[in-house]
Structure 1
Amino acid sequence: MNSRQPTCLSFSSLIVFLYYSLVIFLTTNATISSSYHHGNETDHLALLSFKSLITLDPYGALTSWNTSFHFCDWNGVTCGKRHKRVTALRLDSQGLEGSLSPHVGNLSFLRELWLRNNSFQKTIPHELGRLFRLRVIRLDSNKFSGVIPANLSGCLNLETFVLGSNELVGSIPKYISLLPKLTILVMQYNRLEGGLPSFLGNITSLEALSLVENPVGGSIPDTFGQLNNLKEIYLGGCNLTGTIPLSIYNLSLLTILTLPGNQLTGSLPPAIGTMLPHLTELQLRENQLIGLLPPSISNCSKLTILEMGNNSFSGKLTIDFSKLRDIYYISLHYNQFGTAEMDEMKFIDSLNNCSKLEFLELSYCNFEGAIPRSIGNLSYQLSFLNLQGNKLYGNLPSSIGNLVGLTDLSLGFNRLTGNIPSTIGMLQNLQSGWLNENQFSGSIPDAIGNLSGISVLVLSSNKLEGVIPSSLGNCYRIQALFLDNNRLSGKIPKQILQLPSLSILLALSQNNLSGSLPSEVGDLKMLSSLHLSNNYLSGNIPSSLSGCNSLSYLYINDNLFHGTLPPSLSSMRGLVELDVSHNNLSGQIPRFLDGFSLQALNLSFNDFEGEVPSKGVFANASDFSITGNTKLCGGLLELGLPKCKGKNKHKRRIPVFVIVLMIVSMLLVVSCIVYVLFKKKRKDQPSQSTTNEQFMKVSFDQLLKATDGFSEANLIGKGGSSSVYKGVLEHDDRFVAVKVLHLQIQGAYKNFIRECEAWRRIRHRNLLKIITSCSSVDFQGNDFKALVYEFMPNGSLQDWLHSKVHASRLSILQRINVLIDIASALDYLHNFCVPAIIHCDLKPSNILLDDDMLAHVGDFGLARFLGTDSYLNSSSVVKGTIGYAPPEYGLGSEMSSSGDIYSFGILLLEVMTGKNPTHDIFNEGLSLHKFVSIALVNHAVTDVTDNDAISLQSTEEDVKKVEECLASTLKIGLSCSTDSPTQRMKIENVVRKLHHIKDALQNIQGYQ
């Protein structure tokens, strides 16, 4: 017994030990569970605080954030599998407005914070500095203001820090240099100042740095040479001065070096290509760099983009491009490479091996010499070739016809001679051809009519002879044709007057054309400008001219026209400038002309007679000219004309019925007489200056009365910096739209000035017309600024696509027509305005429809004027609208026409699908672009097309044709909205393809 006792005691002790161990385990486990529960509750409360500060959630992104779901199942929230703590918050592009709660700093397990492309305001909470596990911060494309928080140094694991496209001020905080794992730092499109701090060179882990479009100023620190892991530098538009430090060229891993739009000086090191062999993009345009362009750039064998334009590089261009097999974009314009050596253009030979080359911009480089025949050996992929503004001489090689991929060819302002080669007709993809201001002679080749897709053809100011080839009538997509200032003779061929696509300009001035003006001129119903001056045209002006009801500028001066101006011209109320001077026209000046909105009128040196009106354009002597008409009387006193003879007061009273008959007869006579007045003699083209434009003036009181005190009942729209009211102007009882600027909103005043400037430059039937502007004070003495537009009774495209206001919806054909209108307006802005205008905010709410459902592009408050130094282009942030702004804007790229193309592509897809780009189905990688792309791959076009658009009930064959048209339209939208700017479709090509689709639809039964 005694011998077993120790064993029993040991067993008892073991039981006690296990008991207490179990108690301790359960107690500890309960404590841990309680701890986890407490942590979960902290995250829960932090998320609720986040939601409480959201003032607008247009797409219901936070709808699931309620007690029906565990917060780990809420939209945008990701939790860890083990502890159920929030590890990621992703709410990109949800249209959220409000401020960011400081309680986000309590999400202690948070690793990723993605809130990009929203409208968060106020400051970034400094409490984010508590999140030591945080690896990614993406707060770009919001409205955060104030300085960058100074205590985010606690985020020691931060790898990606992106705050671009906000309204941040101040300088770059020093703690950023203490983040040991930081690899991506992006702060472009803010208002950061204070120079580039040298401590940035301490972030040795950094791989990408972008500060594009910040007024930081100063120079590039030499310490940047310590960033041995740096691969990408984006410092465009940072107001940088000084030279590029040599230490930069020691960063051998660099793939992208972009420093455009600064004031950098000095030259490039001769060995740049050897020192930076991995470069894929080198962008140094718009600086003050000098010296040779180093031939060692040939060693950058991976180079795809070389942009060195707008500098002062000089000397012979000796880069061996044959080694740059991947290059597709070369832009060297506005430099001084010319040396007058015989083989100056030899470098063209080395481009023959660049099989991927798409864009070659060599304009205004001072090159002198002949264009080598090897020009025809360039890449079949080449779509853009610009040699304009050099000193090139000799013949244009016939090998130019080998470049079948060309869409844009510019050879203007050179000294080229000889005939235009007939091989030019082989360029059937050509959309714009500029051969102006050369010395080409001989006749225009008949083969030029093979350019069936061309939109703009410019042959002005050469020595071309012979007749205008009738084959030009085959260029059925042409919108502007310049043949002026040549030696062309013969009659105007009817074929070119029967081109309905001619909508911008037909210029035939300063030639030797003769004969009458064919009646077919009335078929140019879309034409905006017609220039026929300084020829030998004769006969009567055809009454059919009134068919040109879109005409704004008409110049038929310095010809041999006789007779009266046709009464039918009374319908051409859109005329802005009219010159009929130096002809043999006669008759009286019609009274209806004083009702036109003419800004310049020239009737000089004709044989007009009778009384000169005194209203409208005739009310200002500087706006019209009647010199050389000796039979005129009356009018303004400053004209110095004799008084018109009155009736004899002593004659017997005429019976009333006789007076009535006389009045009726006079009215009939007046209705058959045409009057035309003008400001001064014009020899050719209309003046580009519009600084003296006359338009009615309105006061604050008049607008107050017109809108019934800016009442809510008349409010028809409201934006971030303006409100739009419907009103009736008292003096002419017409409806107008009054856009009142909220000047307390930052940027509103600049938007007002920008929109006025845009209106001053543009005139196109598809652009919304500003009637006048008002800059005054209101009844409280505050600044008041407003724009008065023509009223669009059919509202916006946004209403037709998404509102229930309209009982009927748009048909397919109506949608195509609207898209053609918008594309035509963009084509005008990008290619025919000087300077070119970028809209920057194309979306359905900015497209307005008139009585005839003609689409007008409006709201130029964010517009940019390319190639100018206007302070209107110096905005700190231009984002456009979420969903419509192109992705490159968020990466620091400058505003460009390709950005508008992207917006148009998204708009097109929205028009055809009925879904906007921020629709709630587009998440987790699915976008509107991808949504349509998948449907096309699966041949399911009708599944994604708006049901309201498909109404045709016809044969199976016709249905198939409609589906083909839908697919073709959607492909245009996809091509325009691709992520790569260089791969987007040209707007001229868009217009051409949409017209083709429209023609196909109209040939289907039921679409007549």
Structure 2
Amino acid sequence: MRSFMTFLLYFCFQILVYCMPFATVALALSSETDKLALLTLKEKLTNGAPDSLPSWNESQHFCEWQGVTCGRRHMRVVALHLENQILSGTLGSSVGNLTFLRMLQLTNVNLYGEIPSQVGRLKRLQVLNLKDNNLHGEIPMELTNCTNIKVILLRNNRLGGRIPTWFDSMMQLTQLNLAVNNLVGTIPSSVGNVSSLQKLSFGDNSFKGSIPYSLGMLSSLNLLILSSNNLSGEIPNSLYNLSNIQDLDIGGNMLSGSLPSNMHLAFPNLKRFYIGGNQISGTFPSSLLNLTELILLDIPYNTFVGSIPLTLGQLNKLESFNIGGNNFGSGGAHDLDFLSSLTNCTQLSKIYIFDNGFGGVLPNIIGNFSTHLRLLHMEYNQIHGVIPERIGQLIGLTDLDIGYNFLEGTIPGSIGMLKNIVALGFDYNKLSGNIPMVIGNLTVLSALDISNNKLEGNIPVTIRKILTKENYVSLQ
């Protein structure tokens, strides 16, 4: 028995020694396949331009070429990562020969043509990132063969056709971004079956119909973008099951209905909320005030009515507040009282309350806004009184517009303290007196509109020279 075991071990050793050269040869041949695939791919990616991808040549191993990453064990290409270059070519079919590829990232390299069906041969592929190119055609069905794929980023191309119904076969998919393309049709309900999804973006296409109820089944979703389409109907109640959502953007559609009173319970982690440019009605959703993580509130161009709560200061992480283009306010003396509570939001950099029905005077408290404030738009309201002297304390302002109101008195001299102001609008008010010479201190000003008032005097020569270089100048 002992001699038999010795013979067996010897026999196995001889087989191993005999096979090793063949294994080495096989590995070399596989590496050579990757090299040839890359060289062929280079011709397509660069459209044969000799100066593009100069490191892709015979003088060094292909694993050292720009954007190429190889695995240590087999020296096979596992990642191809090129971005922000002008390659101006196509994604050739030879990419399908890189069978060990896990990551394909070719972003902003001016690719055109279609996504080759041979991408479906990349069975190990986990990340497909071809965003910011000029790819057209439809999303190839062969992608269903890539069963390990986790991330598909095709944003900002010219892809057409409909959203494939077969995405629900990709049960490891965590990110799907098809935004800014020419996709049409409806959003298939099958997308709601991809339970692994964490980020879903279909914005800026031409989708119509309603938001599928099934999207509410995506319990892991933390980002949902459906903006700038032609979606209609009410927001499905199922969306309020997405308790992990942090970014919700459904603006720029034709959605109707109202918002629920328990949004703070539905979206406890919400940070960015965009619903502007729809037909959503009702009063200001006061339940939003309990969303203490909220950074951005964007609800303009809807049909909201009524007053604004005086407890906005609870949103102390707020950076952008946009309620413009609604029917808030009544022209009453207390319409702008909510501004006082907003001064508690010390990170606030943008305030848009334009084109509503706000009356009352512009309060002195406006000077208490943080120096983080960059944009303040209050045009097209019924605000009267004078421009507070303390407006000069907002030294971070780059854009101030309070045109189309009923403001009287003079332009305060403190306006000269706004050294960062780029655009300034006081037009269509009842301002009088001399144009303050301190406007000459605003050396980065590029747009000034003080027309349709009762002002006297001239714009300082230093500013006039700057303004005449710009497209938009209106003085008197």
- Normalised TM-score (structure 2): 0.91
Aligned residue in 1 for 2:389: 398
Counterparts of 1:95 and 1:428, CA distance in 2: 39
Aligned residue in 2 for 1:346: 337
Aligned residue in 2 for 1:37: 28
Secondary structure of the structure 1 residue equivalent to 2:360: strand
> Structure 1 residues 91 and 423, CA, compared in 2 at 3 Å: closer, same or farther?
closer
C-alpha deviation, 1:33, in angstroms: 2.9
> Structure 1 residues 110 and 272, CA, compared in 2 at 3 Å: closer, same or farther?
same
Aligned residue in 1 for 2:430: 439
Secondary structure of the structure 1 residue equivalent to 2:355: coil
Aligned residue in 1 for 2:128: 137
The 4+ residue runs of structure 1 with deviation greater than 6 A are: none
Counterparts of 1:17 and 1:153, CA distance in 2: 46
> Structure 1 residues 119 and 422, CA, compared in 2 at 3 Å: closer, same or farther?
closer
If you compute each CA radius of gyration, which structure gives the higher value, 1 or 2?
A: 1
Aligned residue in 1 for 2:82: 91
Please show how residues 784-799 of structure 1 align to structure 2 within 5 Å. Answer: none
Aligned residue in 2 for 1:125: 116
Code of the aligned partner of 2:273: L
Which of 12, 21, 33 matches 1:21? 12
Check the 8 A contact 2:408/2:430 in 1, yes or no: yes
Check the 8 A contact 2:310/2:337 in 1, yes or no: no
> Structure 1 residues 274 and 35, CA, compared in 2 at 3 Å: closer, same or farther?
same
> Structure 1 residues 324 and 51, CA, compared in 2 at 3 Å: closer, same or farther?
same
Alignment of 1:159 with 2:150, yes or no, is: yes
Counterparts of 2:86 and 2:447, CA distance in 1: 41
Please show how residues 434-513 of structure 1 align to structure 2 within 5 Å. Answer: 434-444=425-435, 451=442, 454-464=445-455, 468=457, 473=460, 476=462, 478-479=463-464, 501=465, 503-504=467-468
Counterparts of 2:467 and 2:400, CA distance in 1: 21
Code of the aligned partner of 1:84: M
Counterparts of 1:37 and 1:378, CA distance in 2: 67
Which of 192, 195, 198 matches 2:186? 195
Check the 8 A contact 1:444/1:468 in 2, yes or no: yes
Which of 257, 267, 287 matches 1:266? 257
Counterparts of 2:224 and 2:197, CA distance in 1: 10
Check the 8 A contact 1:61/1:75 in 2, yes or no: no
Counterparts of 1:445 and 1:55, CA distance in 2: 58
Alignment of 1:178 with 2:169, yes or no, is: yes
Counterparts of 1:235 and 1:128, CA distance in 2: 27
Code of the aligned partner of 1:118: V
Check the 8 A contact 2:166/2:190 in 1, yes or no: no
Aligned residue in 2 for 1:238: 229
Aligned residue in 1 for 2:358: 367
Check the 8 A contact 1:358/1:381 in 2, yes or no: yes
Please show how residues 420-435 of structure 1 align to structure 2 within 5 Å. Answer: 420-435=411-426
Check the 8 A contact 1:296/1:319 in 2, yes or no: no
Please show how residues 643-722 of structure 1 align to structure 2 within 5 Å. Answer: none
Aligned residue in 2 for 1:777: none
Check the 8 A contact 2:331/2:382 in 1, yes or no: no
Aligned residue in 1 for 2:376: 385
C-alpha deviation, 1:178, in angstroms: 1.3
C-alpha deviation, 1:127, in angstroms: 2.2
Secondary structure of the structure 2 residue equivalent to 1:44: helix
Counterparts of 2:84 and 2:398, CA distance in 1: 36
C-alpha deviation, 1:199, in angstroms: 0.8
Counterparts of 1:319 and 1:204, CA distance in 2: 40
Secondary structure of the structure 2 residue equivalent to 1:223: helix
> Structure 1 residues 376 and 106, CA, compared in 2 at 3 Å: closer, same or farther?
same
> Structure 1 residues 83 and 355, CA, compared in 2 at 3 Å: closer, same or farther?
same
Offset from partner CA, 1:184-203 (integer Å, 9 cap, x none): 11112211112111111111
C-alpha deviation, 1:72, in angstroms: 2.2
Check the 8 A contact 2:449/2:473 in 1, yes or no: no
Aligned residue in 2 for 1:114: 105
Secondary structure of the structure 2 residue equivalent to 1:36: helix
> Structure 1 residues 75 and 361, CA, compared in 2 at 3 Å: closer, same or farther?
same
Check the 8 A contact 1:254/1:279 in 2, yes or no: yes
> Structure 1 residues 295 and 43, CA, compared in 2 at 3 Å: closer, same or farther?
same
Counterparts of 1:158 and 1:138, CA distance in 2: 11
- Normalised TM-score (structure 1): 0.45
C-alpha deviation, 1:312, in angstroms: 1.6
Counterparts of 2:308 and 2:6, CA distance in 1: 94
C-alpha deviation, 1:353, in angstroms: 0.7
Alignment of 1:148 with 2:139, yes or no, is: yes
Counterparts of 1:197 and 1:371, CA distance in 2: 49
Counterparts of 1:40 and 1:426, CA distance in 2: 66
Check the 8 A contact 2:447/2:467 in 1, yes or no: no
Code of the aligned partner of 1:99: T
Secondary structure of the structure 1 residue equivalent to 2:336: coil
Secondary structure of the structure 2 residue equivalent to 1:216: strand
Offset from partner CA, 1:311-369 (integer Å, 9 cap, x none): 22111122632122222222222111022444221110111111111221211111122
C-alpha deviation, 1:294, in angstroms: 0.4
> What percentage of residue pairs aligned between the two structures are identical?
38
C-alpha deviation, 1:456, in angstroms: 4.1
Segments of 5+ residues of structure 2 without an aligned counterpart are: none
Secondary structure of the structure 1 residue equivalent to 2:297: strand
Aligned residue in 1 for 2:346: 355
Aligned residue in 2 for 1:769: none
Code of the aligned partner of 1:313: F
C-alpha deviation, 1:87, in angstroms: 0.8
Check the 8 A contact 1:193/1:216 in 2, yes or no: yes
Offset from partner CA, 1:557-594 (integer Å, 9 cap, x none): xxxxxxxxxxxxxxxxxxxxxxxxxxxxxxxxxxxxxx
Check the 8 A contact 2:445/2:467 in 1, yes or no: no
Aligned residue in 2 for 1:75: 66
Counterparts of 1:450 and 1:22, CA distance in 2: 88
> Structure 1 residues 419 and 63, CA, compared in 2 at 3 Å: closer, same or farther?
closer
Code of the aligned partner of 1:49: T
Check the 8 A contact 1:204/1:228 in 2, yes or no: yes
RMSD of the TM alignment (CA)?
2.6
Aligned residue in 2 for 1:621: none
Secondary structure of the structure 1 residue equivalent to 2:431: strand
Counterparts of 1:449 and 1:122, CA distance in 2: 53
C-alpha deviation, 1:398, in angstroms: 2.8
C-alpha deviation, 1:445, in angstroms: 5.1
Aligned residue in 2 for 1:619: none
Aligned residue in 2 for 1:103: 94
Counterparts of 2:237 and 2:74, CA distance in 1: 51
How many residue pairs get aligned? The number is 474
C-alpha deviation, 1:396, in angstroms: 2.7
Secondary structure of the structure 2 residue equivalent to 1:98: coil
Code of the aligned partner of 2:271: T
Check the 8 A contact 1:139/1:162 in 2, yes or no: yes
Aligned residue in 1 for 2:217: 226
Code of the aligned partner of 1:210: S
Aligned residue in 2 for 1:407: 398
> Structure 1 residues 63 and 340, CA, compared in 2 at 3 Å: closer, same or farther?
closer
Counterparts of 2:291 and 2:8, CA distance in 1: 75
C-alpha deviation, 1:451, in angstroms: 4.6
Alignment of 1:326 with 2:291, yes or no, is: no
Counterparts of 2:113 and 2:161, CA distance in 1: 15
> Structure 1 residues 91 and 61, CA, compared in 2 at 3 Å: closer, same or farther?
farther
Offset from partner CA, 1:103-158 (integer Å, 9 cap, x none): 32232211001122223333212222222211100112223222111121121111
Counterparts of 2:53 and 2:416, CA distance in 1: 59
C-alpha deviation, 1:18, in angstroms: 4.5
C-alpha deviation, 1:230, in angstroms: 0.8
C-alpha deviation, 1:73, in angstroms: 2.7
